Chain A
Amino acid sequence: MKELLKRSVYEHRASLDRREYSSQELTRAYLNAILEKNEALGAFLYVDEEGALARSVESDRRMRCGEERGFLEGIPYSLKDNIAAQGLPMTCASRALEGYVSPYDATVTERLTAAGAVLLGKNNMDEFAIGSTGEQSAYAMIKNPHDTRRVAGGSSGGSAAAVAAGLVPFSLGTDTGGSVRHPAAFCGTVGFKPTTGLLSRHGVAAMASSLDCVGILSRSVEDCRAILKILMGKDARDMTSFCGKDAKEVGSREKPRIAILRWDEDDCVSAAVRGAVKQAQERLTASGAQCSEEVLPNPKNILAAYTVLSACEAASSLSRYDGVCFGRRGDDTTLSALYRTSRALIGDGAMAKILFGMDMLSSEGRQRYYLHALRAREELCEDVKKITEHYDLILSPVAATSAFEIGSSTKKDQALCSALCGVLANLSGLPAISLPMGRDENGMPLAVQLCAGKEKDLYLLSLAQRLMTGEEY
């Protein structure tokens, strides 16, 4: 029998149905695993042992009494620490929010609770979701469960490490420029970024508002799909959200057309990652899909647009941490002193992004950068629309390499390539998923990315599931 903590949501659900174990026993098992492994991994910032056990007991009671149960009844999960859960700390891994306790649930938290899921705690992350390695938390570095000398990826590194290490069967993260998909790839889990607006962001700390999405990290595509169905849909408290019924379940062609994405200078992708993409392509072709190469125009502009827009929006979003409305309030008596005390608590990565964004919004920066970035984004959306009109899916790497050693970082061209693979879906609003695809010579997970047209989230997940199982189209 598969090890208890490595089982998927569907497997736990079946076992809970058969009364092989109770939700309380399952919750206790995950809590013990967190206690044992978290110090080495830095995956959790806060564990709500008491609350989790109370929720699991209540869940067991509902199941015993035959009350109507949600799909996730009794199943534990975790949240990235920028997603609100009532009564629990929410720091965004920053000292600037140390001690803050959320007075309400984010909509996604609310929907998981309504489905019966049991929240175990909050996952570590790069501070304010700015970072791609998991090394930028103000509290602890996040390490890769497959090799603790290596990074877990970021910014949802804690969520990915927790799922991969069997500390939780699924987790919610956020994805602004690949922040769910990169750590999922490095840790060997499934990582899904939905169409922008499909999941409510009410109660999610803003980093770059036109790019931020809530995403799902899970052990299987099947789990991801079930969780998406619970979470998706219009939320009156988030005017950017839309009705999930629009998420198209079925694609237009019997034999899907797949674009294998290429671009200038993509030769920096490691041989192992290329092998993973090749393997995915072969599986897709063997299943009846039609694959052909498609060149992505102007990759430099895409990266530049993301760099500028994410910084400008982050400068706007993070300016609220002033110690007045948000952020730690000191004993200062003047506004200026209060700003200084409060903002001094923001780490280097986030501060650099804020200052850079401010500069991009100055009159000179706006002319030279910000307006160009807006235009480049428009052009990208037009290019991507053309590709997704012709193809059902886009296949690409998620990152140029597998997880690298902490502190080493990758070569510059590889870092750029990884960033490009991540930001494309955020700038254009497309759904995208990172899928595990073998291991490299060091035993580290490899992954590929599939993207689909806007609102074709469920279709993307159904094709991704077929890719993973080898089922024919």
Chain B
Amino acid sequence: MEYTKQKVKALAETAHVFLDEERIDTLCKLMENMEDLAVFSEDVVLPTELFEDAITIDGMREDSLEECMKREDVLNISPAHTDGCITVPRTVEEGI
């Protein structure tokens, strides 16, 4: 995957992030560096019947967040491993 300005901008839009031109350039470079590292040798054989469902990219449950916006006390929750659950990437089959 090539990290063009357009692609980075689209990803940022999905994440509700506003980026100016200069920042997009920086992020393109950083993401290309990461992509350079993400090269697997061909002998990695994939298991066949993994996930069937689609992935939610942003995964936010916006209705519940709208509700949270009305409350002040939610800010008292720490942004931490609150219950130790492994928050692996959120896919539909993982229940999010």
Do the two chains bind? Answer: yes
Say whether A410 faces chain B, with CB atoms less than 8 Å apart.
Answer: no
| A436–chain B nearest beta-carbon distance, Å | 29
Contact B34 A352 (CB under 8 A): yes
Interface string of A188-213 (1 = CB under 8 A from B): 00000000000011111110011010
Known: A205-B80, A335-B66, A365-B1. A304 touches B37 (CB 8 A): yes
Are the C-beta atoms of A209 and B86 separated by less than 8 Å? yes
Take A352-B31, A364-B1 as given contacts and tell me if A303 and B84 are in contact as well, using a CB distance cutoff of 8 Å: no
Residue of B12, B51, B78, B91 with most partner-chain A CB within 10 A: B78
The complex places the Cα of A359 from the Cα of B65 at a distance, in Å, of: 23
The contact of B89 among A338, A361, A419, by CB within 8 Å, is A361
* Total number of residue pairs linking A and B with CB closer than 8 Å: 198
Interface string of A36-58 (1 = CB under 8 A from B): 00000000000000000000000
Contact of A304 among B40, B54, B62 (CB under 8 A): B40
Contact residues in A for B50 (Cβ distance below 8 Å): 371, 374
Closest to A362 in B: B57
A335 touches B62 (CB 8 A): yes
Contact in complex: B17, A344 (CB < 8 Å): yes
Question: B79 contacts A321, CB within 8 Å?
Answer: yes
Chain A residues with Cβ below 8 Å from B17 are 339-340, 343-344, 346, 351, 355
Q: In the bound complex, do residue A375 and residue B44 qualify as a contact, i.e. CB atoms below 8 Å apart?
A: yes
Main secondary structure of the interface of B (DSSP, over half): loop
- A303 and B45 CA atoms in complex are apart in Å by 17
**Residues of B contacting A239 with CB < 8 Å?**
83-85
Measured as residues with beta carbon below 8 angstroms from the partner, the interface class of chain B is 35 or more
Interface range for A: 35 or more
Does A103 contact B76, Cβ atoms closer than 8 Å?
yes
In the complex the two chains form, is A102's CB within 8 Å of B75's CB? Answer: no
Mask of B62-79 contacts with A, CB within 8 angstroms, 1/0: 100110110000111111
- Is residue B14 within 8 Å, beta carbon to beta carbon, of the partner chain? yes
Q: How far is the CA of A313 from the CA of B79 in the complex (A)?
A: 15
Among residues of B, the one whose C-beta sits closest to the C-beta of A357 is B89
In Å, the complex CA distance between A338 and B84 comes to 27
Query: Does the CB pair B59–A319 fall under 8 Å?
Result: yes
Question: Is B34 in contact with A201, judged by CB distance below 8 angstroms?
Answer: no
Tell me if A235 is interfacial: C-beta within 8 Å of chain B: yes
A residues with CB within 8 A of B: 84, 90, 92, 97, 100, 102-104, 106, 200-206, 209-210, 212, 235, 237-241, 298, 300-301, 303-305, 307-308, 311-313, 315-317, 319-322, 324-327, 329, 335-336, 338-340, 343-344, 346, 348-349, 351-366, 368-376, 379, 416, 419
12 A-B interface contacts by CB (under 8 A) = A103-B78, A200-B84, A205-B78, A206-B80, A238-B84, A313-B88, A325-B74, A326-B79, A338-B69, A356-B30, A361-B89, A371-B51
B residues neighboring A (CB under 8 Å)? 1, 7-8, 11-12, 14-18, 23, 26-27, 30-31, 34-35, 37-41, 43-47, 50-51, 54-55, 57-60, 62, 65-66, 68-69, 74-91
7 A-B pairs closest in CB distance? A238-B84, A339-B16, A352-B30, A326-B79, A307-B37, A201-B81, A312-B89
With A301-B41, A366-B51 already in contact, 18 other A-B pairs whose C-beta atoms are closer than 8 Å = A84-B78, A202-B84, A206-B87, A209-B88, A237-B83, A239-B84, A240-B86, A301-B44, A325-B68, A325-B79, A339-B17, A352-B34, A354-B15, A358-B14, A363-B55, A370-B89, A371-B50, A375-B47
